[in-house]
Structure 1
Amino acid sequence: MDSKAYSGGLAELRELRDEIKPRLRDLVKLRTELDKLQARRDQQIVELGAYEKAKADRIATSAGVSVIDVVALVPSLGPQGTPSAPADAPAGGLSAADELPGPQTAVQPIKEPAGAPAPDLRPAAQPAADTATDEPATDTAAEEDQDLEAAEPLIDTATTSPPATPPGVEQERTLPSIPDGAEGDRWIYAEPNLTSKRPNFKQAARQMAFLDTATGVLVWQAGTVTLDLGRASVAEILTAVYATVSADVERIYITAGDPWHRNAARHQFLKDAVSEWLNGPLPEGWRVESSRGKDRQAGHLVHPRNPVGRWQRGNDQHTEIRSVGEWFDPAGADPATVRAAFVELWKALKRHWDDVVLMGSPSQTGRDLWSRTIPAKAGAKWADGYPVMSQEIRGLLHATAGQGRTELITPPRVPERVPGWYEADRTFAYAKHTWTSGVGVPQRMTAAGFAALSEKEQANALFSPSHWQVRVTIPKEWDHVGLLPAPAPGERAWHYPYEGGRTFTTWAGGAEINQALRNPIQPWKLEILDGLVWDKGDPLKDWSNKLKDVWKSLRALAQTHGDEQQRQAARLASRAVRSILLYGIGMFAQRPRITTGSVELGTGGEVPEIPDGARLTGLTDTHATWERNGGFARDPYAHPEWAAGVWSAARAALLSGPTGTTDPATGKPARAGALHLPAGSILAFRTDAIYSSVRPDWPYSGEPGDYLLKGAMAWEQTTPTADEEFYVLQSLGRQALEAEDL
């Protein structure tokens, strides 16, 4: 670029600025007017909700919001609990028309009852219960290693009241709790006639094609061609692909090009660009898919990076356009290599599942493969299926069990300049935490019930698969990272309090409770307020072990195969196995159903009516996108207690956990994690990864759960204070380590 072009560009930029300014003013004005109207609407909902015969669903329909939104404003309109199913309940259970749109009991604010002190779990004489944190070395239950140093007694029988929120700390949101007494006890049941059973059918296989929209290269079972895709709109892709392949190709995976982002610069949010692309004009005879089968869903999924578009031609031809990024990052692989990766994945899975079918996404595939490991032999335990928890318990777990830990630690907690930047990532981490899970209907453990147990019984409860409401007091001398998640301001947001002397109330899984009580630095004080304790079982173990075996075999193939393309395909396939397990576990969480859709704008740009209970989420020049919360479905595979247990164990192991090698000094498994690095050296957490200013010296054997050094810069860095700065250092650190290894 010369100076003339630069000056011309600046002039064009000023013109754009002048065009944007008035539109921003209009937008602010519209937002102000909208806020006022929404406030009036909410006030009207509250006033109408005071009427003794008011119905949440009728108010929601009239207001154009969801029932959940109405109940949030008027909690008294929420259902007040569902008793256990009576003996004469119909055999078919609830029909789809009977499904409730949300948790059946209104959220109960956390009270401040007297808690029962948790026992000291650190003495050498540990109970013969399995640890909820670490996987045993063999199939039999193994006692946890006793490598923790002795410290002062944990129990403080004096009752402490929580101090006021520290200055400068924004008010946290309040988590729900189980109602007191008989009302809360009615939550403890399994949904009638709803269990996870082994399927008695085989999934239908779908023919797939792989398309690079940047180059036009299309690969499918019958060959390879290069297409002219124009601007790669939906219409151009469907026309070009189905002029080449037969109609039985039902999935088109985009391997590169991201055509849904072509107009991203015109939109403030990526989802709006994706929505515009999905809702673009269609070739004659095509329409958005409106039917669904056993493994087919109707309509589009508007995801900012991995969207799913579904269309049909006539009544018989159906197709999906999906991103291969759902399965793995193709890392520049061409469509032929990506297809080879899917072939290798199928062949490797076939060794363990004769009826394996690769479905549209890794989450769907993971759940289907798991369902085919459910015991089916008559008389086997759980051969009749795994019961699904009550809607109340599922709603509680949805609200109180977070996923991976994401935290950026900034000055003044750490120096503004640090001596280095290191990324240590746990390999295939979730596979490490599937050896035991809670099964059956849980036992409720109130503070009074917990206090009445012997110390051994208390320890056994804490070592069982469990989920606890606790009041936490951090030791005054604490100077390391936080150990337990607490609700942060904002929906579904979590943070990790670390300030010495601070007291807070939260929910946490048994693995994290154990970590807080027996961490290698100093135990935290916990008071049990309430809890759910499940029997131990291994519903995920067979599924996980098979996936681990597939993962290992593909990794070995990636190192030994003589053909470079096949080595790359095997590497990609091994990453797909990781996605199958990772997203398969996420499917058990069964969040409330979110339905998305779009409607075409009127000729004057006016927005037509959207479905009752839906809210507007996006607006383009041609379409309005809406979203509706459908509440919790009667899903036979809904097991949030399993997902919550794995997530809790993974977060605990991020702090301290055994590796696959032995510590020569103790003869026990060497331990690794953030608490084994100096205080003040931790810069960030990202799900399975730790970022620090000192180089972790942890052994790596390639086993699930081991820490692999993925980035390293052994020179002074400016500490990141925002996500954008963090991702720059993450990328530079990986590049530096790769150059170091060359």
Structure 2
Amino acid sequence: MDAQSHNAALAELRAVRDEIKRTRAALAKLEADRDQRIVHLAAYGKAKAERIAPAAGLSVADIVTLAPTLAPESLTAPAPAPASETTPPLPESDALQSGPRPADAAAAGPAPQAATAAPPTPGNQMPDAELPAAEGIPGEPVPDRPAALDDPRELPSIPEGTAGDGWFSHTPKLLSQHPNFTQQARSTVFLDTDTGVLVHRQQTHHLDLSDASVAAILNAVFHVLPEGVERIYITGGDPWHRDADRYPYLRDAVAAWLNAPTPGWRTDTGRGRDRMAGHFVHARNPVGRYQRDNADQHVEIRSVGEWFDVAGADPATVRDAFVLLWQALRRHWDDAVIMGSPSQTGRDLWTRTIPQRGQHADGFPVLSEELRGLLHATAGQGRNELLLPPRVPDQLPQLLEYDRTFAYAKHTWKSPVGTPRRITAQTFAAWSEKEQTRALYGCGHWQIRVTVPDTWNHVGILPAPASGDRAWHYPAAPGTTFTTWAGGPEVHTALTNPLAPWKIEILDGILWDDGKPLDDWAKKLKEAWTNLSAQAHFQGDPQQARAAHLASRAVRSILLYGIGGFAQRPRMVTGTTPRTAERDVPPDAEIIGFDDELITWQKPTGFSRDPNAHPEWAASIWSGARAALLTQRHRDDNTYAGALHTAPGTVVAFRTDALYLTAPQHWPHHNQPGDYLLKGHLAGPVTAPTTEEELLALRDAGRTALTQNGGQA
């Protein structure tokens, strides 16, 4: 480029700049005009936010913000007066007490009932139930719409008297039972949309994908494989992010990619036993389902990132990983089939371990909807906490990452079974100390009032509700008192930790019998994981070693996401409606995107009649895993590990099953589930992270540094 062409390019750039300014000004003017029109419409006596929202292309919450008079009555009605406390305090030991339920909690009433699904609307719907909730997905944070900052949540309570006692039952005619059918495998291919490499069985093809749109992918794949396939795994390229810079949020870009025109194809409406239909709009790992026009031919496009981090592996290696995974599972299940997601696969394999004779041969009944709702609202998953200065130094001497190997597999040996019992404060107080201890060691979920010891100088132990939906924090300031729900492992840790016992008042509780519904399933998965990990270590062929490592990570995902699937969170349905039928958008839906043809929306639909919904199992495992982050015993080594066995001020962060510390630890690691493995070490001084993004950047740098140093801290 010479000086003349350089100056010409600068002039063109200035023209683009000016056009951007004009466009932004025009957009601001249009938005102001839209807001004025909304306010004007709100003056109509019968105006409703849910009618105005689709016309404006905004959510109901946005409309209410502009026109507060349109807020639903349930959001503007005054809160009920606090109920009076009628139960007298019961004397107990200094640490463990049973006391009256907090009046504010009692007034909160029962957990919200599941919403009833709206009548079918034009377009397509798909329950986003294949992946665990975002909180349950380990890995990178998913940038999406910012969460609202509310006052700290008030957790629900069990109603007093017979109303609450009625919750302690099972849903009629809903049981987890051994399947009476053979799961069918689906023809699968693996595609890298960056390179165009497609692997089908032992064959490799090179495709011209042009813009990597859905239409381009389907046309190219079915051109080289005219007999068709049923599942396309994307191993690289993330084509759903190609136009991400055109949208404010990744979900919008993904929705646009999934719903783009696909001549000759339409959105799948479901078939077979799984009946999964429509698209799953997820910022990182979406699922697109399509059906050929006028033909019974179905195909889904999925991200292999649901299973493991590919980290640059080519499609052939990824395919080999799935072959090794299938072979490892077949050693334990002669009818094992790899389904679309690890969550689906995990639940299917578990059902095939349900006894067909003897105890539980009739199946495992599903809890009442009320108790499932209570567990959903009060039982969080992984602990994710970043400690900020002055709780840690501004300059860290070093940063070490200790990750619990295959952590959740450590906590599946015991789970709740049978009909749950309600343990009121009075009942608990009437028990002997031995009975109380046995109950807290058992499978229970407890409503408690907690007081942090006056001498406490370490990290928090028990979760407390914070602002934002399903958000938790861990109070640690001496003398702090709060009311929360927690599982038995965490309550027991608070009472018996190695530093100082916390004061716990039992307000209410749910107690089950101890059982082993997951033990056989988890043991088989642990054996498969051990065998694949050994193959990855001893395999001489680098590609096969890599494939075995990926397969071992897939087994981990099957167990991890299978447990998340048991939680059965209330479903969120994503759907589309033609612009010409705006009135048919469900009134409680949130508009998440629109174009000239379609409106894309999502709405909650409550709990489904899922026979494999067992949130009590997931809650028990998650509670045990959070407790083990604080303290766990290694019997063979006669030692303890965890955050409470470090010096005060050395814990920087918790992240699901990992600890970030400023001092090295000599905890035993025998490559067994639950063992702490040193995964990263960054020499200091290191500026203390103040955001999750900064922590993740330091984590990646620490892992790289440890690898370069040969794995030595």
Q: Same fold (TM over 0.5)?
A: yes
Q: Does residue 295 of the first structure (1) align with residue 269 of the second (2)?
A: no
Q: Does residue 676 of the first structure (1) align with residue 645 of the second (2)?
A: yes
- Say whether the 8 Å CA contact 2:96–2:495 is kept in structure 1: no
- Aligned-CA RMSD value: 3.2
Residue identity in the other structure for 1:481: V
Distance 1:424 1:315, change over 3 A: same
- Map of 2:313 onto structure 1: 333
Residue identity in the other structure for 2:253: A
Q: Does residue 481 of the first structure (1) align with residue 459 of the second (2)?
A: yes
Q: Which range is displaced more, 686-695 or 297-306?
A: 686-695
- Say whether the 8 Å CA contact 1:162–1:504 is kept in structure 2: no
Residue identity in the other structure for 2:371: I
Distance 1:477 1:231, change over 3 A: same
Q: Does residue 685 of the first structure (1) align with residue 668 of the second (2)?
A: no
Distance 1:300 1:701, change over 3 A: same
1:715 CA drift (Å): 1.1
Which residue of 54, 72, 95 corresponds with 1:154? 95
Give matches, 1:167-186, under 5 Å.
171-186=151-166
- Say whether the 8 Å CA contact 2:100–2:425 is kept in structure 1: no
Distance 1:191 1:609, change over 3 A: closer
Give matches, 1:222-621, under 5 Å.
223-284=203-264, 286-313=265-292, 314-377=294-357, 380-601=358-579, 609-620=584-595
- Say whether the 8 Å CA contact 2:96–2:505 is kept in structure 1: no
Distance 1:38 1:177, change over 3 A: farther
Which residue of 15, 20, 32 corresponds with 1:16? 20
Distance 1:161 1:438, change over 3 A: closer
CA distance in 2, matches of 1:282, 1:714: 52
Distance 1:180 1:154, change over 3 A: same
Distance 1:530 1:44, change over 3 A: farther
Residue identity in the other structure for 2:95: L
CA distance in 2, matches of 1:705, 1:316: 47
Residue identity in the other structure for 2:520: D
Residue identity in the other structure for 2:23: E
- Say whether the 8 Å CA contact 2:92–2:98 is kept in structure 1: no
SS at match of 1:527: strand
CA distance in 2, matches of 1:242, 1:172: 52
Residue identity in the other structure for 1:635: D
Give matches, 1:621-636, under 5 Å.
622-636=597-611
- Map of 2:665 onto structure 1: 696
Cα deviation code 1:141-165 (max 9, x no counterpart): xxxxxxxxxxxx53579999999xx
Runs of 5+ in structure 2 lacking a partner?
51-63, 65-70, 105-148
Q: Does residue 726 of the first structure (1) align with residue 695 of the second (2)?
A: yes
- Say whether the 8 Å CA contact 2:379–2:486 is kept in structure 1: yes
SS at match of 1:384: coil
Residue identity in the other structure for 2:660: Y
CA distance in 2, matches of 1:17, 1:727: 36
1:513 CA drift (Å): 0.6
CA distance in 2, matches of 1:275, 1:211: 20
Residue identity in the other structure for 2:412: T
- Say whether the 8 Å CA contact 1:516–1:524 is kept in structure 2: yes
Distance 1:234 1:507, change over 3 A: same
CA distance in 1, matches of 2:390, 2:97: 32
- Say whether the 8 Å CA contact 1:219–1:335 is kept in structure 2: yes
CA distance in 2, matches of 1:211, 1:360: 15
1:281 CA drift (Å): 1.1
CA distance in 2, matches of 1:25, 1:357: 56
CA distance in 1, matches of 2:326, 2:343: 15
Aligned residue-pair number: 643
1:427 CA drift (Å): 0.6
Distance 1:374 1:232, change over 3 A: same
- Map of 2:133 onto structure 1: none
Distance 1:423 1:31, change over 3 A: farther
CA distance in 2, matches of 1:250, 1:189: 41
Q: Which range is displaced more, 450-459 or 333-342?
A: 450-459
SS at match of 1:353: coil
Percent identity for Structure 1 against Structure 2? 54
1:185 CA drift (Å): 0.5
Distance 1:115 1:621, change over 3 A: farther
Distance 1:301 1:161, change over 3 A: closer
CA distance in 2, matches of 1:394, 1:595: 19
- Say whether the 8 Å CA contact 2:97–2:429 is kept in structure 1: no
- Map of 1:643 onto structure 2: 618
- Say whether the 8 Å CA contact 2:101–2:507 is kept in structure 1: no
